[in-house]
Amino acid sequence: MCASRFTFFACCLVIGAFLAGPFPVHALPVGVAHIHTVSDPAAARATIIVYISRSTNTCALTLVVNSNGDITIKRCSSTKVGALSTSTVTKLFNDVHRALPLTALPQGARCAKSISFGTSTRIAYGSQMSPDLSCSPDAKGRTLYHDVTIVVSEVNSGTP
């Protein structure tokens, strides 16, 4: 009798977890938003910071993009610098300005992601931090996510 009650309770927990939706496990690690800070307000407006959280097989990635095209890439324990194409930087900054305020971008209610391999992508600009852009229900958020994929593609192809 006790075993059947335990089985029933365990099944209820599992079913309840599925009905409640995924737990928010893809948040930024504590303090990651303070890895790069820009204290000068003018410099803050000339800098966009992209945070991509880690997953089981990848390290977290932080990209510091300056309006002049310079980029600092922090992946795992290594840091390198480079330059992005003018068209990529211009598009990123224009799209961020169109999406302001970043804090007002809607967060996707339910985003199906693998617990092990899913990541979150956020943009910081000035004192604002976007929600996870990887499953944005908003056209502005999806545009920013697309911009980030272009930046990452340039970084991975060795352009910077």
- Domains contained in the chain, number: 1
| pLDDT tens, position by position, 101-159 | 999 999 877 777 766 667 899 999 999 999 999 989 999 999 999 999 999 999 988 75
Judged against a pLDDT cut of 90, whether residue 52 lies above it is answered with yes
Domain assignment of residue 109, yes or no: yes
Domain assignment of residue 139, yes or no: yes
Q: Which two tokens stand for residue 139?
A: 């056209």
CATH number of the domain encompassing residue 31: 3.30.1560
Domain assignment of residue 16, yes or no: no
Domain assignment of residue 7, yes or no: no
Q: Give this prediction's pTM.
A: 0.71
Domain assignment of residue 50, yes or no: yes
DSSP 11-66: HHHHHHHHHH------PPPTTGGGSS---SHHHHHTEEEEEE--BTTB--EEEEEE
Q: Which two tokens stand for residue 140?
A: 């502005």
% of the chain surpassing 70 pLDDT: 67
Domain range for 122: 24-157
Domain assignment of residue 13, yes or no: no
With H, G, I as helix, E, B as strand and everything else as coil, classify residue 153: helix
| pLDDT tens, position by position, 13-24 | 445 444 444 434
pLDDT at 40: 59
pLDDT at 126: 93
pLDDT at 118: 79
Domain assignment of residue 30, yes or no: yes
